[in-house]
Structure 1
Amino acid sequence: MPSYCEFVRELPPDNVHRQYHDTQYGFPLTDDNELFGRLILEINQAGLSWELILKKAANFRQAYAHFDIEKVAQFTEADRARLLQDVGIIRNKLKVNAAIHNAQQIQQLQSEYGSFKAWLDHHHPMPKTDWVKLFKKTFKFTGGEITGEFLMSTGYLPGAHDGDCPVGQELKSIRHQ
């Protein structure tokens, strides 16, 4: 199976996988709402193709209040019902409930650590197995694959890019220390 870098190498510049690879995958995020948004996307990918999630990313942003943690944490039963009827996103009750619960958990982390990013930084670096345990203890719907991809896609775990990937080479200078 080819790596993601090999997979996108021959794709046209306007392909959603190529755009994600070249501009987002493995790039550190500093904004808590964007980190939360990436977590929502990773959770919703479970059992589905990443291409589908990338194509629906703008819909997710809209449906989940632009990934505003404060707003999503306050979502009501009416908001849950709205999300479960929204054809622009993945209409899965467990994933919708996880997003709302995880926003509430992130609020607690922000209260204790100052930010979601600070909580991640506090635990970095750590092996993937320890991250998975921590995420399972802290969040809903975050198994090994989801946790690993979230952390790799945000620069907390290595492996997003091949050693000879030009994007990966650029990222070496801005990776989390």
Structure 2
Amino acid sequence: MAVRKVDPGDGKPRCAWATKDELQATYHDREWGRPIRTDAGHLRRMAQEIFQCGLSWRIVLVKTPALKEAFFEFDVDRVARMKPKDVDRLMANDRIIRNRRKIEATIHNAGVFREIASEHGGYCKWFNKLPSSSAKEIAALYPLFRKAFRFMGPETTKCYLMGVGKIPQAHEPGCWMAS
């Protein structure tokens, strides 16, 4: 993968996908590949990956503030309690990505987060204990996520795991963020 420069004033080399504009460069520099420390943060990142399916990452980044508002800042309990009337309300909100299946998946997944939290003392606690030190351990996570969560196929799961720092080398060689 090629590393290119985008210049939001600093001239740093970044992963190729993050060189299209300043919004993506900022997301890359501040969030991509960094561990998440809250359940709400994990739900937001999972929802972003779900809403990105079939769309550009830039669209998701532009819509994220409205998604945060629509999904109560991704408060797991509040999202898990959303009802069909809430889905209808969100479908009428032209500030978000209006895909019924993705909205319903986010609500369903919040319910799964809540179940995991009740069994393990928090989604983050459970997530941080998941093994990921080898390619085999990482590969074993894909069917786990596909079974437990909606809209989390192998590629979406891989992007989520990379985005939250579970998979090492989230950054391309030569990127200033690569370790």
Q: What is the TM-score of this pair, normalised by structure 2?
A: 0.86
Q: How far, CA to CA, are the matches of 2:96 and 2:178 in structure 1?
A: 30
| Residue 167 (structure 1) shift | 2.1
Residues 29-44 of structure 1: matches in 2 within 5 Å?
Answer: 29-44=36-51
Q: Residue 12 of structure 1 aligns with which residue?
A: 8
Determine the structure 2 residue equivalent to 1:172. Answer: none
1:156 to 153, 166, 176: 166
State whether residues 26 and 154 of structure 1, in contact with CA within 8 Å, keep that contact through their aligned partners in structure 2: yes
Instruction: State the match for 2:13 in structure 1.
Output: none
Deviating beyond 3 angstroms after TM superposition, the runs of 4 or more aligned structure 1 residues are none
Q: Is residue 94 from structure 1 mapped to residue 101 from structure 2 by the alignment?
A: yes
Counterpart residue identity of residue 54, structure 2 = G
The superposition leaves residues 86-123 of structure 1 with CA deviations (integer Å, 9 ceiling, x where unpaired) of 11111111101101100001000001111111111221
Corresponding residue of 2:18:
none
Matched pairs, number: 165
Unpaired runs of 5+ residues, structure 2, are 10-20
Match of 2:150 among 140, 152, 155: 140
TM-score by length of 1: 0.87
- The question of 1:129 aligning with 2:139 is answered yes
Residues 40, 75 of structure 2: 8 Å contact kept: yes
> Residue 161 of structure 2 aligns to which amino acid in structure 1?
L
Could you tell me how far apart the structure 2 residues matched to 1:84 and 1:159 are?
A: 37
Letter in 2 for 1:35: H
* Structure 2 counterpart of 1:58: 65
Query: Residue by residue, what CA displacement relative to the aligned partner does 1:15-45 show, whole Å, maximum 9, x if unpaired?
Result: 1110011110001111110111000010000
Q: Select the structure that is richer in helix.
A: 1
Measure the CA separation in 2 of the matches of 1:159 and 1:43.
Answer: 21
Question: Aligned-residue CA RMSD in angstroms?
Answer: 1.5
> Could you say which residue in structure 1 is the equivalent of 2:30?
23
How many Å separate the matches in 2 of 1:55 and 1:129? 31
How far apart are 1:137 and its partner, in Å?
Answer: 1.2
Displacement of 1:77 in angstroms is 1.6
